[in-house]
Amino acid sequence: MGKIGIILATYNPNMEYLRKQIESLREQTWQDWMCHVVDDRSSEACQSQIQATIAGDRRFHFHSYSENVGSYHNFERGLELCVGDQRLEAIACCDQDDIWLPDKLERQWHALESQSALLVHSDLELIDAQDDTCHPSAWEFEQRSPQNLTPQLLLLRNTLTGCTMMFRPQLLSLVLPFPSRKGGDWYHDWWIALIASHQGKIAHISTPLVRYRIHDTNTVGVVENAGTLSQEVMTGLQKAEKLRGRSYITHCNLNHAVCDRLNLNPQEVENNPFGDRPLNFGWPILELGWRSWQAGYGSQGIALRVFVHKCRKDVKRLLSRSGPSLPNNSQ
């Protein structure tokens, strides 16, 4: 029976939501846990209310900082607090506005143990601001099939949600420090999940263990049928987006961050569609999208979007190499 460390990241939270989240921690059937509340420079009033909410429970430890760094690096701060804590046998990430089901920690701990897994995650129930159910399954709503993931498919689309994740402390030495996101954009859960997928087994619990709140200030939301061809087309039409390369750059930079951290040569990673290859016009990305469809992973729409960016980039590279032909003035 191991002690579980919980990282609860806060920033000017809705106090009603936060109290419900904290109460759901206190109601866990697994009681051997401690929680680092890591505050990203909330207002003084908010910080006082947070501390009052956890007062009297010695399992909670409040940490405030002078610099606001955003959600990604705030979770990094929390994980750094767990480094070297020999009491911990598992670590879980927690948002400030959800509700954990009472058996979340217990079921995830037993999944780690029984499956010899490095990381475990679960489905989520979607709720609104009044705690009413919007959809009983985020996996079904977004057409996620995380049980079919491979490191390559996970790089194409993240299907693991941070507030459902629990992992072994041995991952800390590999995921910390978090890589810079210059030129791209990803969240802590995608980074942690990718490293874990290369290092050991990821266990999946298809039962929702978190009531995930949907509201106007979510840092990350959910999208119906996310990643599918139909959703990608609808999103593109609604936003009338220009075909910019931001998505492709994010995937490439995240791929390089993983390879650098694990000392992998991008060219030697099997089926790596985002390696430093010569001109290929995105064909490996299309192949990955095809494998996603075959596996039921549900990210073929993302593959098509990223393929378009890569193809356009390679066409520009090809044209820049050839350049305009010079007239022959030797006559």
Question: Which of 133, 152, 153 shows the shortest CA–CA distance to 144?
Answer: 153
Domains annotated on the chain, with CATH = 3-213 (3.90.550.10), 229-320 (no CATH)
Residue type, 251: H
Token duo for residue 73:
């690096």
Helix/strand number for the chain, H first, E second: 12, 9
If you search the block for the tokens 């009681």, which residue do you land on? 31
Q: What is the pTM of this model?
A: 0.89
Let me know: does 71 contact 164? Beta carbons within 8 Å.
Answer: no
CA distance linking residue 321 with residue 231, whole number of Å: 36
Place of tokens 């619990």: 205
> Would you state the structure tokens that stand for residue 57, as one six-digit string?
């429970």
For position 260, what pLDDT does the model report?
93
d(CA 218, CA 140): 20
pLDDT digit string, tens, across residues 93-106:
999 999 999 999 99
Q: Distance between terminal CA atoms of the chain? A: 89
User: Which residues of the chain fall short of a pLDDT of 50?
Assistant: 225-234, 236-243, 326, 329-331
Other beta carbons within 10 angstroms of residue 246's beta carbon come to: 12
Strand ranges for the chain from DSSP E: 3-10, 33-39, 60-64, 88-94, 99-100, 119-127, 133-135, 166-167, 202-213
For residue 216, what are its two tokens?
Answer: 């106007």
